A and B are shown apart, each in its own frame.
Chain A
C-alpha cells in the first residue's frame, strides 16, 4: 500500500501554514515540525522513547507532541532500549508506524539485538508479508563535551546490516523533509541526527514547507569544485563546507557532497565528481576501520580507478573508545585535518 502523501505541515494554521510557509529554523526545530507533520498526516504514526512526552525529549525534539497528540501516540516508555525497539516491532506488525527515539547514540546497544535479529530480518523472513515501517532516531556524534557513551558514531554497524536503511541529515531543510520521508518508508530506517547542531543559531536555515523535497535515498552535491572531492554526512558536512571555504582562499576549489543516505549508498554523484577531480577525501567522526568510509573508498577505487590521481584518503575519528571531553577536539575531524588531507592528496 502506498504511503500517504506528505502533509504540508500545519495546514490547520500551526507553524508552517500556507501563509507562513518559509521559516528560519534550527535543525532541532525543523525535526520537531517534521515529526508533527508526520503525526498529522497519519494517525498510525507513534513516537516512543525515554522522556519524549512531557519533557519533550532530553533535546526537546519531540517538544509539545504529547500535549497535542496524547499519551497513546507519544509514549514515555520504560528505560529499556530493547523494549523500545522490541515493542515497536510488535506495533509495526499491528499496523502502526513507530518512531523510536534512542536518547543517545551510546545507548542503542541494548536494542541492537532486536534491531539486527527482528527489525532487519522480518520482511525477508516472511517473504514480504510483514513490513517493518519503523524509524529509529539516534542523536549521534561528538562535540558537546559530554561524558562517556554520549558522543558516539555507531552508524557503520547498521549500514553493515542487511534489511536496514540508514540516513543522516546535516541541515534544517533536510531534517524537516527527511524525517517525514523516513516515516513514510515501508522499510526500517535508522535516522542519525547531528546532535551538536540541534540548536545552533548559526545553522538556522530557511525551510519552505511547501517545497518538494528530493528523494530520501539520494546524495547531494552541496558545493561544486574542481580541485578535489570531499564527501561527508551528518555533523561532518559542516566541517567539509568550512574546509571548502578556507581552501577557496588558498585557491583550491573543493567539491562537497552530502551523502544523506548511508544505506543504500548513493555514490553516483561521487563517481561523477571524482571522475572530474581525480581526488577524494571522505570525512566522518566514526572510527575508520571497517567503516562506511572504508566502503566508499573501496567502491570509488573500483568505479573510478583510471580517474584517480591519488588514493582515497579517510579523515575519521581514531580507532579508540570515544575520548574524555577534554580530548575530543583532537579526536574529531576538523577543518585543518580535512585541509591536510587535501594537501596530501594533491602532493601524491
Chain B
C-alpha cells in the first residue's frame, strides 16, 4: 500500500548518468534558484510547516473556507497524486506508452481549479491532470492520450475544459480568443444580480512556454481587448532539462507589467494561497479588470515525462529540498495541528485513493482497441468525398483479410 508521501522515480536509462558525480556550476546555481523561497513577493498563506500566516490582501478571498473545505482540498490533492502515481506505474508496466507526471504540482492545480466557477472556461497544456479533476473529469478520461487510443475522451463543451494542447503555447492564444468572445457577448463587468452571469477564462502553461511567441501574442491580445483571461503559469523550474533562467532574466510574473496588466507570484505548493490568488484574479477578470498573470512557483518533482531522466541535468539535493515544501504534507500538518481532521478522515482519504487507483488500473487494463474507421471519422464536420473514398477503399482492403490482418 502506498501513501501520498511515496515517490516513484524514473529508472535511469542505459548509459552514464553524466552529471551525478560532479555537478557543474550551472547545475548548482540552477538548484539554488529553484529551491529559493520564490522571493519577497511570493504570496503564501500556509508555510511549508503548515502554519497559517496572515495576509491582509488575500485573507478575504479565503475567509469563507471552512475546515471541511480544507479537508476537501486535501482529499483532491491526495487523489490526484494517487491517480498520477498509478498512471506512472501503468506506464512502467507497459500499459501506457508515456505518462506526464504532475507530482509536486497538486496544490497549484487544485487551488487554481477550485477557484473556477462551472461557467468559467479552462485551456490546459498537457500536465493539467489536477485541473481536469476539478472540472469533473475522471482520470480515466485522460488515459486514451497516453495509451494511444484517442486524444482524450472528455466532452470539452460540457466540462468547459478544452482538449490538452501538446504544442507548447498554442492554447494561450486560443484562450485569449475565447475570453474575447466572453467580453463580446457581454459576460464581463455585469454588476448586482447579473454578477453571476460574469465569466472568465483560465489558461495553463509552464515556464518553458513563456519563451514561445504565442504566449507573448496572447499577452498582447488579451491586454488590448481587455479579455477576462487569467494566465496561470506553473513555474515548475524545469522545461525538460532547461532551468527557468534559460527562459528569462527576470521573475516571470514581472513580465505582466510590460504588457500593462497585473502579475503576481504565488506559492504554488500552497493550495490555500493559490486558491486565494486565483479567486482574486478571476474576480478581477469577471469585473472587467483582466487580464491577470499568475506565476505559481512550484516544482516538478518527477521527470518531464516517463521517457525523461532528470538525473542527467539536475541534482538530487534539489528534489530533497523541495520535498520539505511538499504541497500535501503542509496541508496535512495544518489540518492535524488545528484538529480539523482526525485519523478516521485520513484513513478514508487513503481508502478513496486506493479505490481510485484500482478503478483506474482496472479501466486501463480493459481499454479496447480503437476501431480503424475512427481515424477517418470527424476529420471534417461536413462531407469530404475524397477522404470518404480513401476510407472506404482501406476498409474494404482491410476486410479482405477476413479479420486476420
Contact = CB atoms under 8 A, between A and B. Distances in A.
Do the two chains bind? Answer: yes
Interface of A: 72, 77-78, 80, 82-83, 85-96, 98, 110, 113-114, 117-118, 122-133, 162-163, 165, 185-187, 263-266
Contacts, number: 134
B381 A186 contact: yes
Contact of B170 (A113, A128, A185): A113
Given A91-B181, A118-B170, A162-B379, A83 B220 contact: yes
B181 A94 contact: yes
Contacts of B224: 78
Contacts of A87: 173-174, 176-177, 180, 221
A185 B383 CA distance: 11
In this complex, the interface size class of chain B, counting residues with CB under 8 Å from chain A, is 35 or more
B135 to A, nearest CB: 15
B155 A90 contact: no
Nearest to A264: B386
B217 A126 contact: no
Contacts of B165: 118
A186 B384 CA distance: 12
Contact of B163 (A82, A88, A122, A186): A122
A264 B179 contact: no
Given A78-B221, A86-B173, A87-B221, A123 B380 contact: yes
Nearest to B201: A90
Interface in B232-267: none
Contacts of B378: 123-124, 126-128
Contacts of B177: 86-94, 98
Given A86-B173, A87-B180, A264 B384 contact: yes
B182 interface: yes
B157 to A, nearest CB: 6
A167 to B, nearest CB: 13
Contacts of B39: none
Given A78-B221, A80-B220, A86-B214, A117 B167 contact: yes
Interface in B271-297: none
A8 B160 CA distance: 36
A47 B173 CA distance: 17
Given A78-B221, A129-B155, A91 B178 contact: yes
A90 B173 contact: yes
Given A118-B174, A163-B379, A90 B180 contact: yes
Contacts of A127: 150, 153, 374, 377-378
B181 A86 contact: no
B54 interface: no
Contacts of A264: 384-387
Contact of B181 (A78, A90, A128): A90
Interface string B213-234: 1100110110010000000000
12 contacts: A80-B220, A82-B217, A83-B214, A83-B221, A88-B177, A90-B178, A94-B178, A95-B181, A125-B163, A130-B156, A132-B381, A263-B386
B184 interface: yes
Interface in B67-111: none
Given A78-B224, A87-B177, A113 B151 contact: no
Contacts of A72: 184
Nearest to B185: A94
B175 interface: yes
Contacts of B384: 165, 264
